[in-house]
Structure 1
């Protein structure tokens, strides 16, 4: 029984492309995917940082590679997908994790240009990359798309959590994270007949990122108080769910938004 369970969760011989793979959520997810046996392609606009983190993973005996990928550029998307398929044979799993934080503002302060610049990556870039990867997956009759959402893919922002800190929940972040769930369901329903699955992973606030960015503030105190489990997410809270969705352990799951938020959205 133990060996059968282990086989359900293994990613040996799988090729995974993860965007934003050296970012806050990207790093623990990239490591988890590699530790499960996958060949992990870490891609973002900063090729040097991607390769730097891939090198760190390789030094630990893992199979990781860094690529430069500009999600705001259609030719970059097509070129990189072609290079990966040429070098590794195929892309079994795509993790759409990258998100532009340009123009993260309240609605009244958001300019048309800031909104559109962010959408070139968060909306159009995600669509074009998914389109490029799905083409090959459809031909092979198998594939797995995992989109990274947020607690704001499930509930609206609670602005009172920020207190008097001056922080806010950007309007385009909420817009994008709700949209990614609908996009996920569309892919799942259309491509299911081709053996392709699509799910969304929506984590709550991430402790290491919050600590590095803000330290201890009224916001962090309020967040923990309003979360039933009383804490932020840690690396392990992201690593387990991504392996579940990437592996055969979730082989009969598609079109689902897996919420991992310590109970934030259960109130």
Structure 2
């Protein structure tokens, strides 16, 4: 029987993390790499992913950078093909990249904006997961971790379409878990609360709004990107071997506030 410490070991595992040149994605990639995984840093900009991969390698971690706009079919395919070509397969996929180009009431959004949000936040994770399926099957299993949001569980002002896309990601994850369990593949979804990233800057840079949010939270503060890495390492490793189809919040108590 493995010790608990050993069960977190990811040595020999290959992990792709989308949207990992900064913020939550970068912190997740670093956590997985620190536990021994070979990580693929991916975002739209090749220079950005190369810089992160170089930083990781300089710190004794194993990483390569592969640029990918997850909204584009050819680039999704290339991301998986290049990873398999370089590392031989895929064991862990973290669908972290997402967009929210609008902060407004749902009736004010254009149809094109809806399509764009759904393409990147729902369709891309579905198709990327499908693309790694055969490699995970060959390797006897794997872990798909989708990054959603507390907005998937609780409606907030001005984020209606984003919330809708993330709610769809929850059900996608549950279906992946149900259908792919027979192959030893687990799928789970994490719902972060307000985390200090460039993505959420519109919220935390508004001091009045931030104070209001923080006062309502049991933790009395917003989260930091590196606080999302631990739960991903658990779900990616044998320490979380019996966890599949789960929805996990990491939100400082947002879902029980007020």
TM-score between the two structures when normalised by the length of structure 1: 0.90
> Kindly tell me: are residues 259 and 221 of structure 1, through their superposed partners in 2, closer, same or farther at Cα, counting changes over 3 Å?
same
Match of 2:108 in 1: 109
Identify the residue that residue 189 of structure 1 maps to in structure 2: 178
Contact kept? 2:125, 2:146, Cα under 8 Å: no
Q: Deviations over 1:101-155 (max 9, x none)?
A: 3344321221011211222222222211111011221233311100001111222
Give the distance between the partners of 1:118 and 1:50, measured in 2 at CA: 23
Deviation at 1:208, TM superposition (A): 5.0
Instruction: Spell out, residue by residue over 1:147-193, the C-alpha distance to the aligned partner (whole angstroms, 9 max, x if none).
Output: 00111122222x4xxxxxxxxx3222101111111110000000001
For the 8 Å contact 2:122–2:166, the answer to whether it is kept is no
Asked whether the 8 Å contact 1:103–1:115 carries over to 2, the reply is no
Q: 1:171 to 1:200 in 2, by over 3 A?
A: same
Aligned residues: 256
1:243 is the counterpart of 2:242: no
Match of 2:224 among 227, 234, 244: 234
1:216-231 mapped onto 2 (5 Å cutoff): 217-231=207-221
1:173 aligns with 2:155: no
Aligned to 1:162: none
SS of equivalent to 2:23? coil
CA shift at 1:211, angstroms?
Answer: 8.7
Task: Supply the distance in 2 between the matched residues of 1:45 and 1:127 (Cα, whole angstroms).
Answer: 18
Q: Deviations over 1:70-115 (max 9, x none)?
A: 2122122112211111110100000000002334432122101121
**Mean Cα deviation higher: 8-17 or 71-80:** 71-80
The match for 1:151 is 150
Q: Gaps spanning 5+ residues in structure 1: where? A: 160-168
Q: Secondary structure at the match of 1:69?
A: coil
Whole-angstrom distance in 2 between the partners of 1:211 and 1:81: 28
Residue 187 of structure 2 is matched in structure 1 by: 198
Alpha carbons of structure 1 residues 80 and 109: separation in structure 2 relative to 1, 3 Å? same
- For structure 2, which runs of at least 5 residues remain unmatched after alignment? none
Q: How does 1:47-66 map to 2 (within 5 A)?
A: 47-66=46-65
1:125 alignment partner, SS class:
helix
- Name the counterpart of 2:82: 83
Could you report, residue by residue, the CA deviation over 1:229-249 in whole angstroms, capped at 9, with x for unpaired residues? Answer: 111112442121111111111
Tell me by how many angstroms 1:259 deviates: 0.8
Contact 1:200 1:257 in 2 (8 A): yes
Taking the aligned partners of 2:151 and 2:70, their CA distance within structure 1 comes to 22
Structure 2 vs 1, CA of residues 91 and 30 (structure 1 numbering), >3 Å: closer, same or farther?
same
Supply the RMSD in Å over aligned alpha carbons.
1.9
Secondary structure, counterpart of 1:223 in structure 2: helix
SS at match of 1:68: coil
> Given the alignment of the two structures, is residue 100 of structure 1 paired with residue 90 of structure 2, yes or no?
no
